Chain A
Amino acid sequence: AQKITQTQPGMFVQEKEAVTLDCTYDTSDPSYGLFWYKQPSSGEMIFLIYQGSYDQQNATEGRYSLNFQKARKSANLVISASQLGDSAMYFCATDPSSNYKLTFGKGTLLTVNP
C-alpha cells in the first residue's frame, strides 16, 4: 500500500516570494511516480508536475520545481515568485508501477498575501 503525508495543513507566503510545500511518501514498489496537483476553490484538479522514481534530475515546469530526495522519501514542491493566483489547495500523489492508481495526501492550503 502507498501512503502520502503532507504535514502542513496551511501555508502563507508573500507575493513574489518562493514557498516549499512538503510531501513525504511511503511505498514498497521499486518504481513509482510522484505528482503534484493544484485545486482552486472552483474544485477542478490541475496537474502541475511529475517526477519518476528513476529520474536523475529534479523535475521543473515553469515556476514549479520538485525537490526529490529518494533516500528521505520526500518530494517537496517549490513554487518560485508566488502569485495571488497560486492561492489554492495543493495535493501530492503517487502511483506505483503495479497498478497506476493514484494515492493522494490530505493537501496543503496555500494562501498568497499581497
Chain B
Amino acid sequence: DGGITQSPKYLFRKEGQNVTLSCEQNLNHDAMYWYRQDPGQGLRLIYYSQIVNDFQKGDIAEGYSVSREKKESFPLTVTSAQKNPTAFYLCASTFGGQGDEQYFGPGTRLTVT
C-alpha cells in the first residue's frame, strides 16, 4: 500500500531538547512538506522540498530544521530554539505540479514540558 508514514504518533519531550519527527513516503512523490497545526488554527507551512538535497523555508521556519537526503524521507527537527514547540505536526507529499493534491500522513502530536 502506498502512503505516508509519520512516527511516532505521540511524542513527549522536556524543554531544551531537540527532537526529530520522521516522515516517509513510498508514493514516488518529488515534493514533500511539513506543516504545523495549533488548536483552532489552520495548517502553517514550516519547510518544503521540491527535490532531493534541496529545501525551502515556509512561513514559520524559525526553530526548525530539515534534511532531504533521500526522495522518500523528509525528517523535521524541532530545536530548542523553537519557543512554542507543542503542536500537531503534519507531513505531506505530492508530485509537485499545480493542482496536484497533497497526500498527508497521520501526524505527530508533540508535547514539550
Contacts and interface: CB of A to CB of B under 8 A. Distances in A.
B97 A100 contact: yes
Nearest to B90: A45
A4 B41 CA distance: 12
Interface in A32-87: 32-33, 35, 37, 42-47, 50, 52
Contacts of B92: 45
B42 interface: yes
Contacts of B74: none
A25 interface: no
Interface residues of A, number: 27
A101 B58 contact: yes
A22 B58 CA distance: 26
Nearest to B92: A45
Given A102-B45, A104-B43, A107-B42, A47 B102 contact: yes
Contacts of A95: 98-99
Interface residues of B, number: 28
B105 A50 contact: no
Nearest to A6: B42
B104 interface: yes
Interface string B83-109: 000001010101011111111111101
B98 A100 contact: yes
B101 A50 contact: yes
A113 interface: no
B40 interface: yes
Nearest to A47: B101
Contacts of B33: 101-102
Given A37-B104, A96-B98, 19 more contacts: A4-B42, A33-B98, A43-B107, A44-B105, A45-B90, A45-B102, A47-B102, A50-B99, A52-B99, A91-B43, A93-B43, A95-B98, A97-B98, A100-B94, A100-B97, A100-B100, A102-B43, A102-B102, A104-B43
